[in-house]
Amino acid sequence: MESDAKRAVDLLIRDAYVITMDAERTIHPRGAVAVAGSRIVAVGPAEEVEERVRSARTIDARGAAVHPGFVDCHAHVTFHLVRGAFGDACPIDVFARAQFPYADLIDDEEEHASALLSVAEMLRNGTTCFVEAGTAFEPDAAAAAAQRLGIRALLGDPFVMDVGGLGFDRIAATHERALDVLGRELGRNADPDALVRGHVAIQGIGTSSDELHLAAHALAEREGVILNQHQSYAADDTAAHDLRCGCHALVHLERIGALSERVLLGHLNFVRDDELEPLERCRPAVAWNPTGSMLWGVGGTLTGRHLDLHRRGLAVGLGSDASNWANAFDVGEQAYVALLTQRERFGARDAMTALDAFELATIGGARAAGLAGEIGSLEAGKRADLVLRTDDVPEMRPSFDPLAQVVLGARARSVRSVVVDGRVVLEDGELTGGETAEIAAGADRAAAGLFRRMGYRGELTGRPLGPAGRAATATEALR
């Protein structure tokens, strides 16, 4: 009779150090999490949870941490095939000339190969959800990769812009084209339980007219989704946007009614004093990409106000950006780098804490993605997106403070298993939806074919690619 009174669940993770990230930031040092279907049904002390459930499957955490999955709030998942191809110190103008043919020539299969590699990397590093930054030419290719490997994804329409453009031929930066494609990805939201959903995306950074900003914002409001856009990445695009607006960009966006809690601003490396009031009044979310600034020497970790905005209560999450802007899709690494930069910048060990960093990677990211009611914390009723760690790595020992040790020491090295929507998608370090080696080999083949069409050598040699027939750095090849 006692067994019959217990609730049947599909998965029980027991003997875990459960970091819930709920409103009280509750931690259960000897805790358990029970999952039925796609949702968490119980979280708490292990004895209490185990008394209430009988599970089809039980995983023993062996005392290691279990926490909400990381959320990558700004990811270009179909640009992984160009990672490292043009040399580490490639100047931005040379890189741009190299990337435009890439953007013009990549096909659906190659985008799918890139997205598979990106998603595999994310899952292995503890990321359970990503917001695609509106640059997948064929969103179905990214969707198929996400569905196959089992990651949660928010996809946007590709390169929606009607001012200037980005310099490649594939996308016409016209108002007609922008309005035509705007919101096409929202059809994915017909199924409320869909793992891959849509949001409204525009390119941003000064490439959108006021009319397009307003149309996109109105659509996001009507559909109850986020409006995702790049904003104030580098000093030059920030100045150009200011010039077009006739004032600082965020002041202008508030003035025309295109800034609100619906908006997710990618990067936001430059915030001027008169933009703080619009930010506080309108409370848009921010996707902070620390290495996306640092690798290119943009200065966002020196000039940005991301931590200040987090302290003011705005939704701030973290993003990995793109392959040559982060070189790895690892939100835990972004959290660590963010913490280091702020302590160095302000000259104080407590300028940003491990808990601050963990908040940005989990519930902060969920808020920024518009999904805080569904993910970002381990609470009954929420989706079962979680990460199980292992203490069997040197970086987790001795484990006086597992949360701090995950952020400051072990990072991705201690990821053992990952659950998304109640499904185990990474088990003991291995993907359940595909072989990592097979995915990596497929990306190599796709990259070789693509670069052949671009006029570079087809083989991957471990050196930066040069033009067909000779070895060279990208700088030499493209000058």
Task: Give all domains of the chain, ordered by start, each with its CATH number.
Answer: 2-68+384-431 (2.30.40.10), 71-368 (3.20.20.140)
pLDDT on residue 95: 81
pLDDT on residue 168: 81
In tens digits, the chain (479 residues) has pLDDT values of 455 689 999 999 999 999 999 999 999 999 999 999 999 999 999 999 999 999 999 999 999 999 999 999 999 999 999 998 887 888 878 887 777 788 899 999 999 999 999 999 999 999 999 999 999 999 999 999 999 999 999 999 999 999 988 878 889 999 999 999 999 999 999 999 999 999 999 999 999 999 999 999 999 999 999 999 999 999 999 999 999 999 999 999 999 999 999 999 999 999 999 999 999 999 999 999 999 999 999 999 999 999 999 999 999 999 999 988 888 999 999 999 999 999 999 999 999 999 999 999 999 999 999 999 999 999 999 999 999 999 999 999 999 999 999 999 999 999 999 999 999 999 999 999 999 999 999 999 999 999 899 887 544 445 554 444 333 443 343 33
pLDDT on residue 479: 34
How far, in Å, CA of 196 to CA of 189, rounded? 8
| Residues with Cβ within 8 Å of residue 34, at least 6 apart in sequence | 7, 9, 11, 12, 13, 40, 41, 42, 43, 49, 52, 53, 55
How far, in Å, CA of 404 to CA of 463, rounded? 37
Q: Where are the beta strands (DSSP E) in 156-214?
A: 196-198, 200-204
Q: Give the tokens for residue 140.
A: 């179905």
| Residues with Cβ within 8 Å of residue 186, at least 6 apart in sequence | 198, 199, 200, 219, 223, 225
Beta bridge mates, 71: 129
pLDDT on residue 374: 99
pLDDT on residue 326: 86
pLDDT on residue 241: 94
Instruction: Please state, as a whole number, how many other Cβ atoms lie within 10 Å of the Cβ of residue 340.
Output: 15
Q: From 134, 121, 122, 129, select the one nearest 152 (Cα to Cα).
A: 129
By three-state DSSP, how is residue 226 classified? coil
Q: Where are the beta strands (DSSP E) in 309-399?
A: 316-318, 386-389
pLDDT on residue 4: 64
How far, in Å, CA of 7 to CA of 36, rounded? 9
pLDDT on residue 164: 87
What string of DSSP letters covers 140-166? HHHHHHHHHHT-EEEE--TT---SS--
| Residues with Cβ within 8 Å of residue 94, at least 6 apart in sequence | 86, 474, 475, 478, 479
pLDDT digits (tens, 9 = 90+) for 340-351: 999 999 999 999
How far, in Å, CA of 367 to CA of 381, rounded? 17
Instruction: Please give the model's pTM, rounded to 2 decimal places.
Output: 0.95
Q: Which residue has the tokens 């090295």?
A: 413
Q: From 342, 462, 440, select the one nearest 124 (Cα to Cα).
A: 440
Q: What phi and psi values does residue 203 have, to the nearest 5 degrees? A: -65, -40
Beta bridge mates, 58: 12
| Residues with Cβ within 8 Å of residue 284, at least 6 apart in sequence | 259, 260, 261, 262, 263, 264, 265, 314
pLDDT on residue 97: 78
Distance, C-alpha 215 to centroid of its chain: 25
